[in-house]
Structure 1
Amino acid sequence: MESISVFEIIKVGIGPSSSHTMGPWNAASAFIRIIKRERSISEVKEVFLEFFGSLAKTGIGHGTDIAGMLGLNGEDFTTINTSKIDEKIEKIKKDQIIHLGGEKEIPFIYGYHLVLNMQKSLDFHPNGMIFKAVFEDGTELVQDFYSVGGGFIASQEKNSIEKHCVRTLYPCHHGSDIVKYCDKLGLKKFSDLIMINEESWRTPEETRLQALNIWKNIKECIYKGVNKEGILPGGLNVTRRAAGINRKLLGDKVYKNIDEWFQQVVDAEENFTNINKWIACFALAVNEENASFGRIITAPTNGASGVIPAVLMYSQAFTECISEDDIVRFLLVAGEIGTLFKKNATISAAMGGCQAEIGVSSAMAAAGLTEILGGSIGQVMMAAEIAMEHHLGLTCDPIKGLVQIPCIERNTMGAMKAITAANIALESDPTKAKVTLDEVIQTMWETALSMSDRFKETSEGGLAIAVNVPEC
């Protein structure tokens, strides 16, 4: 089994969905690279893109079509000016031209060259898409892709696209592996083992810098969210709430930048109610940014991108775990827990419902928080198990296919459950636990397989059809 770096699970992304936005964007970029490898961009006459299954059914609400076009246009979601996305898409549609790979202008008619096929699903995975390039000589290049969660893509031929197989020094594919190797090496901290394994990709210094860069992006995303008001795009007319909560909690306190704002948060009145409100505010801020094509941290997905930031920000503002080492250790542990779900179950709501997104992110956050609060390796594992146990069966039924209702509020709940799970684990003896992390991961996967497709990000069941939202 291939090892996965924690920074493949926790990474810089763009809203509103990792599987429905980042995955198709990555696939389009990969298709451009395949064209360059097999032929050349200059030989391409036309390019076609067809989305199937869940990608098609909720594609408009998730910006799947936008991601496909921008990826083919040679844009990079980690660097694109997010405020220019609407302008770029409008130009493609109006001019009916795409700048393929950023190199060659070719005709591109929305609805003809890009199609959302809601009547058909591909067998390999619900999030399927097919790209086709037609060359000047009449020959074709066809490639299938599947967005398998968290921005990861695959094809039927390859389990993962354009990735080098890495085997860490101490492969941790199950929770039991982590316990085994920590015991073998005499390690007292979960994060110590993960830091060793991350050396398969980069030096410890580079790992530390990458973790701190993730934290920097988290703070910037929250700060943007708590300072932006208005209505979220998409037609549901959802009002941004993080800014209002932030304003009420800070009262008449003023700030000019992120650091001044953060200090005001730390200095604000602390009581149980206010701290809970701040946790909700942090999560709302991130997911409101996500819903509006903002730059966020995918952890492990975009729909669940507010949980880990909210819990990590909570630790920095309201606990004594405020060092850079605490931030690094939190993210290493959280990311490694995410890899266990990725390898042994799924982190795709289209495959497993929202238990695969909010449930996994809550388990990740619970483990990270337990680690920096002084929990043992067994308590860290127990916290992750508790958090997931109480998300089992959670469906994904977004209204109008938008990552807004119930997604945004659901992140606040996942954060609260993560903190509760950590507190329970820290007061418990993990040797007396009746359910292991590996067992709950297996249970989650079995639940996913048994769940109706109506509740797997298709907007065909649950709230998506129970709530009557008029078309705009």
Structure 2
Amino acid sequence: MTISLFDIFKIGIGPSSSHTVGPMKAAARFVSSVTETGNGGEVRRVAIELFGSLALTGLGHGTDTALILGLAGAAPETVDPDDVARIVALVRATGTLPLGGGASVSFSAETDIVMRGNELLPRHVNGMRFSAFGADGSCQQTAIYYSIGGGFIVGEDEVDEEESAVPPVQFPYPFKSSADLLAMGEKAEKSVAEIALANERALRSEDEIFEGLRRIWRVMSDGIRRGMSAEGQLPGPLGVPRRAGTIHKTLRDRVRHDRSGPLEVLDWVNLFAIAVNEENAAGGRVVTAPTNGAAGIIPAVGSYFERFCEGADEAGIFTFLLTAGAIGG
């Protein structure tokens, strides 16, 4: 285990952990650094340069929206997806942005977000350079961040720090491979979930762990429900129709008319995954598992357990999430 379960399962918004969640966190981190260095009161404008992959696919993945939200003080885990369009529209209409949710600075999404798709920063394909300018136009502060996958970001000086995301604690059961994990479990006579729980206790109380797992599962379940009830098209120029709602109606009709087949349960599992994936594509709230692109699998399997396995309960869901988190970590 190299990172916490709650680093594997991160609550955020779609459609991409690397191109949406990561840039939003980077923008918020830049604002915090500006404040910490005492430059916040001097800033009159901010600008961002996106390099490589971020620039080439940024608009399709909502990177511009994510940057606006992060600069305005929003966080991936708490921003209301229903408020996103309103916040971004206000910034675009006024040409100003409440930096960190506070004083407004000049900001034009059209000119202050610069796409440099043919250029790469030296450490990673998903590079961002943030700059803050004073009233006289001089650059007060600049910083480079990289979105390295799964919603993780690192600063320019952190890229070469091995396992920079590892918490500064000693886990009772440290492992770096599945072989290590299985050997430790056999020696300690503990399941994978018990190993994961013991390691998480090194970071937070058991009550905090279970409350965190409860919230993660609630967000996952909500994503399924929203996805199955939504209609219309997914965002983007291709006009891709949502499918989960139609599939849900078809499966309910089969059950109602007793036309379910022996593999019916697999259709439901697929539906659950599609529902979450469509919510992610629409910019809704999902949980990285470990990325936004893979966000539908864990909720789908967990919902199968909840709905089709006799004796399923919350404790079983927790065991499932702990086990999955250990394997993913």
TM-score by length of 2: 0.92
Q: Measured at CA, do residues 81 and 48 of structure 1 come closer, stay the same or move farther in structure 2, by a change above 3 Å?
A: same
* Cα distance in 2 between the residues matched to 1:223 and 1:302: 17
Q: Which amino acid aligns with 1:228?
A: A
Indicate conservation of the 8 Å contact 1:315/1:321, yes or no. Answer: no
* Cα distance in 2 between the residues matched to 1:163 and 1:174: 15
Equivalent in 260, 272, 287 of residue 262 of structure 2: 272
Specify the alignment match of 1:152 in structure 2: 152
Deviation of 1:45 after TM superposition, in Å, equals: 2.0
* Cα distance in 2 between the residues matched to 1:285 and 1:183: 38
Specify the alignment match of 2:31 in structure 1: 32
Bigger RCO of structures 1 and 2 (CA < 8 A, at least 6 apart): 2
Equivalent in 156, 168, 174 of residue 165 of structure 1: 168
Specify the alignment match of 2:103 in structure 1: 104
Q: Which amino acid aligns with 1:316?
A: E
Q: Measured at CA, do residues 312 and 207 of structure 1 come closer, stay the same or move farther in structure 2, by a change above 3 Å?
A: same
Specify the alignment match of 1:320 in structure 2: 310
Q: Which amino acid aligns with 2:168?
A: C
Which residues of structure 1 form unaligned runs of 5+? 254-263, 340-472
Specify the alignment match of 1:186 in structure 2: 189
Specify the alignment match of 2:143 in structure 1: 143
Question: Which range moved further: 139-148 or 271-280?
Answer: 271-280
Higher helix share: 1
Deviations 1:128-147 (A, max 9, x none): 11111123474521111011
Deviation of 1:321 after TM superposition, in Å, equals: 5.7
* Cα distance in 1 between the residues matched to 2:260 and 2:141: 60
Q: Which amino acid aligns with 1:279?
A: V
Deviations 1:63-86 (A, max 9, x none): 001101111011223222212222
How many pairs were matched up? 325
* Cα distance in 2 between the residues matched to 1:195 and 1:162: 19
Q: Which amino acid aligns with 1:289?
A: E
Deviation of 1:243 after TM superposition, in Å, equals: 0.6
Q: Tell me, yes or no, if structure 1 residue 175 matches structure 2 residue 174.
A: no
Indicate conservation of the 8 Å contact 2:97/2:107, yes or no. Answer: yes
Specify the alignment match of 1:17 in structure 2: 16
Equivalent in 222, 233, 237 of residue 224 of structure 2: 222
TM-score by length of 1: 0.65
Specify the alignment match of 1:292 in structure 2: 282
Q: Which amino acid aligns with 1:130?
A: R
Specify the alignment match of 1:353 in structure 2: none
Q: Give the secondary-structure state (helix, strand or coil) at the position aligned to 2:44.
A: strand
Deviations 1:154-202 (A, max 9, x none): 1231148898533312212222221232233222x11111110000111
* Cα distance in 2 between the residues matched to 1:332 and 1:72: 33
Identity over aligned residues, as a percent?
38
Q: Measured at CA, do residues 211 and 8 of structure 1 come closer, stay the same or move farther in structure 2, by a change above 3 Å?
A: same
Mapping 1:246-257, distance limit 5 Å: 246-251=248-253
Question: Which range moved further: 129-138 or 278-287?
Answer: 129-138
RMSD across aligned positions (CA): 2.2
Q: Measured at CA, do residues 164 and 193 of structure 1 come closer, stay the same or move farther in structure 2, by a change above 3 Å?
A: closer
Q: Which amino acid aligns with 1:243?
A: G
Deviation of 1:101 after TM superposition, in Å, equals: 0.9
Mapping 1:198-237, distance limit 5 Å: 198-237=200-239
Which residues of structure 2 form unaligned runs of 5+? none
Deviation of 1:105 after TM superposition, in Å, equals: 1.0
Q: Tell me, yes or no, if structure 1 residue 80 matches structure 2 residue 79.
A: yes
* Cα distance in 2 between the residues matched to 1:161 and 1:81: 30
